[in-house]
Structure 1
């Protein structure tokens, strides 16, 4: 099955789902109070896009997502590599890490609001907590999966700690880290939206919370649709970056010594 056929099947599934939904609403089988008509949701999305003030909400959510994603990824990779290399430190900190990871992130949102206020950074902090552990566990496992034979050969050739990190540990953990980067994008968006939903004056989460407060199911579904498109765009950007990085790594590994 080629790519074109797969795309056609995807489009057919989307048309079938949306078309069936619309027909169910028109026939009175689906209650519009709970599931509004797709055409109404589409009209709401168009009206938001046509409104200039809407883009300020998008910019705020995007800023919170990007900051939470970058900070959480950087901290997660750094901590994962450190504890992956230091088994004793990992054993000492293990119960604390498991305890922190077990805390529901929704519980942390009000605490961050108390500490950092209703502004940008409380949402960034919540996004960081979601992204951090995904990247952390993958980076730590990637470092621990290094082939001991390769590591021994690098040490025999005179590689110091910095050389081992650069040429052995990071390349070995790269596939683990890259896989976590794709997953953590959604978590960064979730963190930003939950923070906005629980307390903010702007952002896509604020728009959804406002629509829910007015019992506006059309606005809620329109916000969800925009968030889905938002995540798909970010994921596509990461997909392109990942393919280029993998291509670069492949060409580098094939280069003669």
Structure 2
């Protein structure tokens, strides 16, 4: 299977290379070799610095050996903060509304309205509220992550078997024990299925925020390249972001395997 997957990648890259041998096509679609060279230069050539602080006060300065690192650190920081904050908020609100039918009924139209809103248009508002630092990007990305995880948590709790709940209550389980031993395990599989999608959305929020106003970040590098019609640098930024998104998704997958050991595999279920 790995060989076939690698072969698909080779075929795509070879097709891209052959299709862009024409200078006109290369102008619009870039060249894979030049994209690879640009990524190599980002990580090996040039030096960069990142000043950490608030406003006009600088707490400390980080020196990096190559150009991409300060930009990559900013984007990854925004993404991870948005991912963690959005997931935590979604877990709390999802559990609360799933276990409180009255609150759920009251807030239902407002949640649907907020979810239907194209949240990218909130970016200028967040820039006014939080400034052009990382927090405006984090706020935008949180709005993208929150609803994906929230609806999965809500549905996971609602899908708890009434028989399991009745048996747990007959055994004397209190509300806290029901939450820990019944509701949370039921929602966990739903949560992890949403986290894989949320990883990409956290990156989307961070990059869109950097597009609209930033002096640091991979999105800033891509925006500068677009302004000079440097398509190879644009593709280099896309490749770098994709690779790190895959790394973060892989970490989520490892956490899922570790926390979901209690869940039987498909083969084991068939044997049972």
Question: Within the alignment, does 1:220 sit opposite 2:215 as a pair?
Answer: no
- Pick from 42, 47, 59 the counterpart of residue 41 of structure 2: 47
Question: Within the alignment, does 1:12 sit opposite 2:7 as a pair?
Answer: yes
Question: Within the alignment, does 1:31 sit opposite 2:45 as a pair?
Answer: no
Aligned to 1:254: none
Instruction: Map 1:54-203; keep pairs closer than 5 Å.
Output: 54-203=68-217
Question: Within the alignment, does 1:206 sit opposite 2:207 as a pair?
Answer: no
CA distance in 2, matches of 1:69, 1:250: 25
CA distance in 1, matches of 2:177, 2:253: 29
C-alpha offsets along residues 103-153 of structure 1, whole Å, 9 cap, x if unaligned? 112101111001100001001101110000001000000000011111111
**Residue 20 of structure 2: SS of its match in structure 1?**
helix
**Residue 260 of structure 2: SS of its match in structure 1?**
helix
CA distance in 2, matches of 1:148, 1:24: 58
CA distance in 2, matches of 1:240, 1:167: 22
C-alpha offsets along residues 27-74 of structure 1, whole Å, 9 cap, x if unaligned? x28611111111011111111111323101111111101100000000
Question: Within the alignment, does 1:21 sit opposite 2:16 as a pair?
Answer: yes
**Residue 200 of structure 1: SS of its match in structure 2?**
coil
Higher helix residue share:
1
- In 2 relative to 1, CA 218–143 (structure 1 residues): closer, same or farther, beyond 3 Å? same
CA distance in 2, matches of 1:111, 1:89: 28
CA distance in 2, matches of 1:130, 1:250: 29
CA distance in 2, matches of 1:147, 1:165: 13
Higher strand residue share:
2
**Residue 118 of structure 1: SS of its match in structure 2?**
coil
CA distance in 2, matches of 1:75, 1:226: 29
CA distance in 2, matches of 1:119, 1:220: 23
CA distance in 1, matches of 2:23, 2:215: 37
Q: Say whether the 8 Å CA contact 2:189–2:260 is kept in structure 1.
A: no
Provide the TM-score with structure 1 as the length reference.
0.92
**Residue 28 of structure 2: SS of its match in structure 1?**
coil
CA distance in 1, matches of 2:85, 2:251: 18
- In 2 relative to 1, CA 83–155 (structure 1 residues): closer, same or farther, beyond 3 Å? same
CA distance in 2, matches of 1:179, 1:129: 18
Aligned-CA RMSD value: 1.3
Q: CA deviation at 1:170?
A: 0.5
Unmatched segments (≥5 aa) in structure 2: 46-65, 265-272
CA distance in 2, matches of 1:183, 1:168: 25
Q: CA deviation at 1:250?
A: 4.6
